[in-house]
Amino acid sequence: MRRAKIFNSLERLISKDARLNSNGDLMHQVEYVFANKEKFIEKIQRVKTPCILLDSNALKNSIKEFDENFTKYFQSYTPYYAVKSNDHPYILKTVVRSGFGLDTSSGKELKLAVKVGAKKILLTGPAKSDEELELALDNADRVIINIDSFRELERLGEITNRRKCYIKAGVRVFTKYHGKWNKFGINIDEVSNFWSRAKKYPFVDLVGIQCHMSWNENVMPYSNIIRKISDQLNGTFSEDDLQKIEFIDLGGGFYPYRTEGCYAWSTEAGEIIQLMNKNSSSEFPYKYKYRITESIPIKDFSKGIANCVKKYLSTLLNNKQFSVFFEPGRIISNNSMHFALSVRDVKDKHFGIADGGTNMIGYNKFSYTYCPIVNLTHPSTEEIEFTLYGSLCTPHDIWGYYCFAEKIEEGDVLIIPFQGAYTYSLSNDFIKEIPPVYIM
């Protein structure tokens, strides 16, 4: 009895987790697969599974939706797609052709950005090497460096003095709202000090302030940060220095709307339930299989952030040069790729092994994150319990615990839709090669 009470309280805690919406489902993703069934089958018949399908229409729709919403609400905004979220050249070329710049975080990414013809590039990231700074200077006509520390400013200053080469720059800051993201940049309280220090280096044209954090589910993190930047600028910057600010870069971090879920056991309360249930005969102690992670649609992000910019940064908006920069990653790349697998081995009614392994995504995402798996050979709008392992010789290789299927047989083709963000760019050849990417 007591045990049941504890279980119920823990379940209530899971439901209260603000990020998780108990009533949600991801049927829109399943319906997308069914609506495009012929296209998927036609492609997969001509190639072999496992493979990655790059969905150019879905990618273009994400770019268009982002751009339309930010153009609508901002007087001037400049998007820089975050290369790290998916660095496939087709994706980079598509975003560049749509007028986006690229946000790079290393010399490797900067070279890629130059190669695909990007006209606007940011070099962001900690601990840049001298070689990376030199490479940015080689492309100074199109690169802005977001400086990460006082020491980096000094090193950049020395290199630019030696080369007599001008470069535009911003300074990355963190605030009390940045949590673990305070590894990056300088404390916002030091920004005016940094601004004065930069005046020592005539070739470093410091014109912006940058910050970033990921996984933002609503406007609150942006509004907190905008307010903090505004307080700092109004309190410590001279009129002349304010006039010099050409951009505030608010980074990326837009968590796509209704895109994935979270298994009960991967919440804190869920972990306790799992521990309590360790020696019990009941196999699944949770009320819910998984919950869908909540966030707001992109139109609400853009409208809300634009309102904060108008309210708190109005002095900067008078500067004709001024633009708000963004570095969207996940929100652009998430829908751009789908994984196609086949069932290689059905070991019993409730578990089997696919022909591809999770080296395709580089980490054990699906052990705790729920995404729909859709059986194209025996489709159904109902989900059955089926643990799908990958083909790597390690137990940590799991694709999911449920499948939209009438039944599952050897050879069935499975689609895991909308897997473009932080998967392909993390994929590796642990045990198996990375499967090919085909454009559809």
Nearest-approach distance from CB 172 to ligand PLP, in angstroms: 8
Nearer to ligand PLP among residue 32 and residue 301 (C-beta): 301
Of 53, 82, 110, 156, the one binding ligand PLP (CB under 6 A) is: 82
The angle that helices 37-46 and 27-35 make with each other, rounded to 10 degrees, is: 60
Q: Which stretch binds ligand PLP (CB under 6 A): 78-86, 129-137, 258-266, 304-312?
A: 78-86
Residue 141's Cβ-count burial label (10 Å; 0-12, 13-18, 19+) is exposed
- What is the footprint of ligand PLP within residues 201-220 (CB under 6 A)? 212, 214
Structure-token pair, residue 245: 């600010």
Q: Cβ of residue 18: shortest distance to ligand PLP, in angstroms? A: 19
Residue from 10, 23, 25, 24 nearest 286 by CA: 10
C-alpha to C-alpha distance for 146 and 250, rounded to whole angstroms: 12
Nearer to ligand PLP, 61 or 381 (CB): 61
Looking at the Cβ atoms of 40 and 184, the one nearer to ligand PLP is 184
Contact 323, 77 (CB under 8 A): yes
Q: Map residues 248-267 to x or -, x wherever contact with ligand PLP holds by CB under 6 A.
A: ---xxxx-------------
Q: Total number of residues binding ligand PLP (CB under 6 A)?
A: 16
Alpha-carbon span 361 to 374, nearest angstrom = 18
Q: x/- site string to ligand PLP, residues 139 to 178, per CB under 6 A? A: ----------------------------------------
Closest CB to ligand PLP among residues 146, 391: 146
- Select the residue interacting with ligand PLP from 170, 328, 400, 417 (CB under 6 A): 328
Q: How far apart are CA 242 and CA 236, in angstroms?
A: 10
Q: How far apart are CA 90 and CA 415, in angstroms?
A: 21
Least Cβ distance, residue 255 to ligand PLP (angstroms): 7
Q: Which is nearer to ligand PLP, 79 or 356 (CB)?
A: 79
Stretch that binds ligand PLP, among 18-26, 80-88, 193-201, 393-401 (CB under 6 A): 80-88
107-115, 222-230, 323-331, 363-371 -> range binding ligand PLP (CB under 6 A):
323-331
Closest approach of ligand PLP to the CB of residue 87, in Å: 12
How many angstroms separate the CA atoms of 407 and 293, rounded?
28
Between 122 and 373, CB nearer to ligand PLP:
122
Contact 208, 245 (CB under 8 A): yes
Distance CA 72, CA 300 (A): 12
DSSP symbols for 222-276 = HHHHHHHHHHHHHHH--HHHHHH--EEE----BPPTT--EEEGGGSHHHHHHHHH
Report angle CA 255, 28, 266 to the nearest 5 degrees.
50
Please, which residue, 20 or 102, has the CB nearer to ligand PLP? Answer: 102
Degrees, nearest 5: CA angle 378-383-384 = 80
Q: Toward ligand PLP, which CB reaches closer, 124 or 342? A: 124
Residue 435 within binding range of ligand PLP, rule CB under 6 A: no
What are φ and ψ of residue 345, in 5° steps? -150, 120
> Contact letters (x/-) for ligand PLP, 24-63, by CB under 6 A?
----------------------------------------
Spatial separation of the C-alpha atoms in residues 282 and 112, rounded to whole Å? 52
Q: Using CA of residue 38, residue 43, residue 49, residue 52, what is the dihedral sign?
A: negative
Kindly tell me which of 185 and 357 has the beta carbon lying closer to ligand PLP: 185
Nearest-approach distance from CB 214 to ligand PLP, in angstroms: 4
Which of the residues 84 through 103 are near ligand PLP (CB under 6 A)?
A: 84-85, 103
The pair of three-digit structure tokens given for residue 312, joined into one six-digit string: 């708190």
Binding site for ligand PLP (CB under 6 A): 82, 84-85, 103, 124, 212, 214, 251-254, 327-331
